[in-house]
Amino acid sequence: MDSSDIEAVVNEVDETTDTAGRHGHLPGTEDAGRGQMGPTGRPMPVFPEPPPLASHGPARVIAMCNQKGGVGKTTTTINLGATLAEYGRRVLLVDFDPQGALSVGLGIPAHQLDVTVYNLLTERGHDVRDVIVKTKVENLDVIPANIDLSAAEVQLVGEVAREQILARVLRPILDDYDVILIDCQPSLGLLTVNALTAAHGVLIPLECEFFAMRGVALLVETIEKICDRLNPRLEVDGILATMYDSRTLHSKEVVASVVEHFSDRVFHTVISRTVKFPDASLAAEPITTYDTTHKGAAAYRQLARELIARGGAA
Ligand code: ADP
Ligand code: MG
């Protein structure tokens, strides 16, 4: 075996192992700058490093929404939040899923907390600032949730303006943050309607799998209804392909069909499938601190830059 053979083998391993190529390129950006195609089949633009903000707030509120579970909503909320925070943005994450995966994924013992987002929604007299928890990541705060939240949906049904309760909870702190990301539960029930009513934008993560698009029409219909009836400023900030596997034709086909349907609304950035994301969650950290040079961290940094470049965040 001469050195070129060894290089070939190394390259092959790089292609087929998960953690290899960590210092390499994001999928589809290998030729960035030379006008080559990105993973979404469109030329990959360069998203510049965002300049630091001279002042902070008011926050743009973005709901991470897809009524399908396991598509990367929570992972995207944590890691997009962490990368926006790295760029100096003040970020608040709202855990709006009774499973509390976002809270736990950032090391917050949510099941032991006496006050969570549930109390803010269902009881008067709480100061939202007392419920906010700081994370180990600078500029990244959380309003936690736990299983208590599962009762809120039923309790709120009889309330006046029941769709606007989360918007009211967040109003006093909008000026404290640049971006607020709401991690929705996998349903289109009253909690998600509250998130969409409080939001300026929606980010829809889609898993690169067969049937990824199933249910998206219903989601878009729900967003349009909320826009008509409750929140006219609401817009779809973008559709994010997650769990992308550049080795499979299948992933490419799914992305192609998503772009065919939603064209410019699909982010150029795609998030590859890598075990680093569940590993980071187990370690209760964003990937940016768990393995800061990993390509998964780079992908979420690129997503933050793309979101800012599109005007979806300051
Ligand atoms: P959702 O909030 O939509 O239910 P999650 O973000 O919790 O989805 O992701 C579901 C599972 O998939 C979690 O175990 C998470 O760690 C894992 N996961 C998320 N994104 C990726 C990815 N890009 N590659 C591999 N695993 C991922
Ligand atoms: Mg989730």
pLDDT digits (tens, 9 = 90+) for 36-89: 789 999 999 999 999 999 999 999 999 999 999 999 999 999 999 999 999 999
Interval between CA 154 and ligand 2 midpoint (Å): 20
Question: What pLDDT is recorded for position 210?
Answer: 83
Question: What pLDDT is recorded for position 12?
Answer: 37
Interval between CA 72 and ligand 1 midpoint (Å): 4
Q: Is 287 in the pocket of ligand 1 (CB under 6 A)?
A: no
Q: Which distant-in-sequence residues (6+ apart) come within 8 Å of 30 by Cβ?
A: 24, 36
Mean pLDDT of 174-194: 98
The span from the CA of 304 to the CA of 269, in Å, is 9
pLDDT at 10 over 90: no
Interval between CA 102 and ligand 1 midpoint (Å): 11
Nearest ligand, measured from the Cα of 78:
1
| Torsion-angle region of 23 (φ positive above 0: left; ψ -120 to 50: alpha; else: beta) | alpha
196 exposure class (CB count in 10 Å sphere: 0-12, 13-18, 19+): buried
Give percent of the chain with pLDDT exceeding 90. 85
Closest ligand 1 atom number to CA of residue 280: 16
- Pocket test of ligand 1: the residue of 26, 68, 75, 99 to mutate, having most ligand atoms within 8 Å of its CB, is 75
Q: Which distant-in-sequence residues (6+ apart) come within 8 Å of 293 by Cβ?
A: 22, 23
Buried b (16+ CB within 10 A) or exposed e, 226-237: bbeebbeebbbb
Ordered by where they begin, the domains of the chain are 53-309 (3.40.50.300)
Q: 35: pLDDT confidence band, cut at 50, 70 and 90?
A: low
Question: What pLDDT is recorded for position 142?
Answer: 98
- Looking at residue 70, the DSSP 8-state letter turns out to be S
Instruction: Return the amino acid letter for 269.
Output: T
pLDDT at 11 over 60: no
Strands (E), 22-85: 60-64
Question: What pLDDT is recorded for position 214?
Answer: 86
Q: Is 99 in the pocket of ligand 1 (CB under 6 A)?
A: no
Q: Which residues pair with 201 in a beta bridge?
A: 62, 235
Instruction: Return the amino acid letter for 120.
Output: L
Instruction: Return the number of other C-beta atoms located less than 10 Å from residue 77's C-beta.
Output: 30
Q: Is 278 in the pocket of ligand 1 (CB under 6 A)?
A: yes
Nearest ligand, measured from the Cα of 71:
1
Q: Is 274 in the pocket of ligand 1 (CB under 6 A)?
A: yes
Which residue's C-alpha comes closest to atom 5 of ligand 1?
A: 72
Q: List residues, by chain if needed, whose CB lies under 5 Å from ion ligand 2.
A: 73-74, 101
The span from the CA of 59 to the CA of 177, in Å, is 5
The span from the CA of 217 to the CA of 295, in Å, is 31
Closest ligand 1 atom number to CA of residue 101: 7
Q: Is 75 in the pocket of ligand 1 (CB under 6 A)?
A: yes
Pick from 95, 59, 78: nearest CA to 183: 95
Q: Is 68 in the pocket of ligand 1 (CB under 6 A)?
A: no
Residue 35 Cα distances to 28, 30, 31, 38, 307, angstroms: 11, 11, 7, 9, 20
Which residue's C-alpha comes closest to atom 22 of ligand 1?
A: 273
Q: Is 194 in the pocket of ligand 1 (CB under 6 A)?
A: no
pLDDT at 26 over 60: no
Helix or strand holding residue 142 (H, E): strand 140-143
